[in-house]
Structure 1
Amino acid sequence: MTAKVRRVLVSGGGIGGLAVAGALARHGVAVDVIEARADPAVTGIGISVPNNALRMLGKLGVLDEVVAAGYPFDEYVMCDATGARIVGLPCPSSSDGTPGYLGITRARLAGILRAAATTEGARPRFGVTIEDLADGPAAARVRTSDGQEADYDLVVGCEGLRSPLRERLFGAEHGPVFTGYSCWRARPRLPRRVAAMTKFAGATTDAGLVPLGEDEMYLFQVTAEPGNPRHEPGERRELLAERLAEYTGPIAEVRENLPPAEEIVYSPLFEVRLPAPWHRGRAVVLGDAAHAVVPHLSQGGSQALEDAVVLAEELTRRPLAEALPAFTARRFDRARHLQRVSSAILVREMTGHRPDPDELSRDMASIRAYLDQPV
């Protein structure tokens, strides 16, 4: 482990996996990417991308393409359940012009990251998983489910909440923990009604609208779901409409124009709190596999992008034995802090505590200042 990496296996073809694959391939590292899903089509609706993540996309060389495919905005708006505006919180651009915030469909973002990674030389394979991993002093020998066997300097696990590699390395005790809440997402059959991320405060739920393009938006709603019940896909339209019943104004209009049940995404909210270090031997996990976070600061995909950029920086500047501890040292405290802050906001909103506009402004200014710090 005294040399810099030359060949890497990335397990997981989501945002973090594609980002780290592209970043390493740009530096001349040979990268194989395997993804358990046989179909590369991306599930999910939209994603909110704040400035700290957009800065990482700039380092990956895809920012301009992402901005052109999404909808940038510079404000975070809070409203009550009727749609009356409470406060608008500025999301300023960086000094280099990087937008303050952006909405984009998950499919477009993944497509841009996948194209960038493959253009740089990363080699993706779908419907493939790790069957065996044998760590050795000179390489990690990996056998995959498609019958291939190869040696790698490093294996990177970007497999999400239920990462098999995390369990292989650290045991089942560090699996995802249900928060008691879930998020519903849908693209209503309506033109865009908002020009910025706009949240609507219910009694013990929050709903929101995020612009995705010139005439596109998506809805999200966070609700308490004690016991983590299973909601059948065919019931989701009716269930979501029921949960939106208290809202009037824009959300009521959305409620009357929900898409078919099969197009509604229902996601129980989990956290993963893997202790440091996130590596063992010649393997490391990142993103949701290491530190899944609730979505209240839009930091799920954002922290995966930060992980990807930082890991690539460390791997291309120093030997592996030094790079992996340096990666955890740069990333652990920041990811854990944002996880805690996001969780506190979730609990505050779901228990009906509504800060006044001045308190909200102070809180968001403090969070923005933290996110503006170098990664």
Structure 2
Amino acid sequence: MTHHHPLPQPPGESTRTVLVVGGGASGSAVTILLRRAGIAVDLIEAKPDWNATTGSGITLHGNALRVLRELGVWEQVNASGFAFGSLGVTTPDGTVLFVAEDIQTGGPDLPATLGMPRPRLQQILIDAVRASGATVRLGTTAETLEQDADGVSVRLSDGTEGRYDLVIAADGLHSATRAAIGIADRPEPTGMAIWRIAAPRPEGLTRTDLAHGGPAYIAGYCPTSEDTIYAYVVEANRDRASIPPETYADEMRALAQHYGGFWPEIVKHIEDPAKVNYTWFHRLLVEGPWHRGRVVLVGDAAHCCPPTFAQGAAMSLEDALVLAELLTTRDTWDDQLLTDYHARRLPRVRRVVDASVQLGRWTLDGVRDADIPGLTRRTLSALKESP
């Protein structure tokens, strides 16, 4: 276990101050890394529970695990999750068509893939933020941002005001900060939606299998611990107003009951509508600069894609790593630094967003001979490179 010491401040220089807006994966990660370098960080999060109870499961590839290792939480993540190294593709009745070895995008000493309960990952990150010594305010948002050449004056929803050298907008897909600084990009629905639920792990379920065809576009699952999985079904998106939340279990079960293999056992646990999550797929990629002055976007605020490659959290974590690396190794926090951050992230993120949308498009269009394995292999192979 390595111990990290804060870097000494240059003589006569006051500590730099950063406000992080949003405490999801990217906001938490950048906070931990900046605190390690001795930078003062205030983190504000709109949800009073810090999202510690929401979500079913999450699939993390090696390149996400590589960042979590850098954050010092890999051992906890590994102990909490279920690691595996292959992906099965099946027919709707559960017949396995082929099994592909997963690419180890995080290098040879990390698993190719690890599933874990999403609330558990969030709690591990919360604990690491708390341990970092950052100041945390929950149930709090930024009401106004006023910039000048030297910094940003922020008024928070709790009535307090602060002055910061940099504001990092990590407030997600529908980022209010992105809109407030005049970046006009908005997420667009891709035409698909996903039903998700956590369930007990059937004996013998030890990897992700994806069933293509049947009444849904894709039915899949991922082991998240020795005892648990999360299961999901992807279909065309429907008007949300036409699906009352109390019918969520019935809706998901109606789709899932047509699948064989492990599905009959999983379907038994699709009972409580409050435990079923329904989300539309969105695409977002801010092509232009990710900053305005001293406010910069990370994670879903800058880019988001359908979870067809399970790279959403990985891309967000990588953003945090790259931005923190630049902020902690360069003497001057200037426009060039934030421009370099964008230049380093954009091609890699674009590759993942475009490929994720392409997979969805092939599915929506019913393209039979689409080279899904090839696109998957090429996309994930590229991610072996350090971000």
TM-score (norm 1): 0.93
> For the residues of structure 2 that align with 1:200 and 1:109, how far apart are their CA atoms?
27
Q: CA separation of 1:370/1:4 partners in 2, compared to 1, >3 Å: closer, same or farther?
A: farther
Amino acid at match of 1:348: W
> For the residues of structure 2 that align with 1:216 and 1:142, how far apart are their CA atoms?
43
Report SS of the residue matched to 2:231: strand
Alignment of 1:206-355 (within 5 A): 206-227=218-239, 229-318=241-330, 319-321=332-334, 322-355=336-369
Cα distance, 1:92 vs. partner? 4.6
Counterpart for residue 80 of structure 1: 91
Cα distance, 1:270 vs. partner? 1.2
Amino acid at match of 2:83: P
Q: CA separation of 1:267/1:4 partners in 2, compared to 1, >3 Å: closer, same or farther?
A: farther
Report SS of the residue matched to 1:23: helix
Cα distance, 1:355 vs. partner? 4.7
Counterpart for residue 32 of structure 2: 22
> For the residues of structure 1 that align with 2:181 and 2:18, how far apart are their CA atoms?
17
> For the residues of structure 2 that align with 1:174 and 1:61, how far apart are their CA atoms?
34
Cα distance, 1:243 vs. partner? 2.0
> For the residues of structure 2 that align with 1:146 and 1:75, how far apart are their CA atoms?
48
Amino acid at match of 1:142: V
> For the residues of structure 2 that align with 1:249 and 1:289, how far apart are their CA atoms?
38
Aligned residues of 1:202 and 1:247 also touching (Cα < 8 A): no
CA deviation string 1:108-160 (max 9, x = no partner): 11111111122121121110000111101111111101111111111011111
Report SS of the residue matched to 1:32: strand
Q: How many residues align?
A: 370
CA deviation string 1:277-306 (max 9, x = no partner): 100011011111111111000111111000
Alignment of 1:1-375 (within 5 A): 6-40=16-50, 41-93=52-104, 94-171=106-183, 173-189=184-200, 191=202, 193-203=204-214, 204-227=216-239, 229-318=241-330, 319-321=332-334, 322-355=336-369, 359-375=371-387
> For the residues of structure 2 that align with 1:361 and 1:81, how far apart are their CA atoms?
18
Report SS of the residue matched to 1:276: coil
> For the residues of structure 1 that align with 2:146 and 2:54, how far apart are their CA atoms?
32
CA deviation string 1:27-84 (max 9, x = no partner): 1111111011112233111100001111111221211221111111111111111111
Q: Alpha carbon RMSD of aligned pairs, Å? A: 1.9
> For the residues of structure 2 that align with 1:196 and 1:186, how far apart are their CA atoms?
17
> For the residues of structure 2 that align with 1:175 and 1:364, how far apart are their CA atoms?
26
Amino acid at match of 1:43: T
Q: CA separation of 1:92/1:27 partners in 2, compared to 1, >3 Å: closer, same or farther?
A: same
Cα distance, 1:90 vs. partner? 0.8
Unaligned runs of 5+ in 2: 1-12
> For the residues of structure 2 that align with 1:261 and 1:178, how far apart are their CA atoms?
24
> For the residues of structure 2 that align with 1:232 and 1:18, how far apart are their CA atoms?
33
Unaligned runs of 5+ in 1: none
Report SS of the residue matched to 1:86: strand
Most deviating of 210-219 and 185-194: 185-194
Cα distance, 1:331 vs. partner? 0.3
> For the residues of structure 2 that align with 1:189 and 1:68, how far apart are their CA atoms?
18
Report SS of the residue matched to 1:57: helix
Report SS of the residue matched to 1:213: coil
Consecutive aligned runs of 4 or more in structure 1 exceeding 6 Å deviation: none
Aligned residues of 1:23 and 1:117 also touching (Cα < 8 A): no
> For the residues of structure 1 that align with 2:108 and 2:194, how far apart are their CA atoms?
34
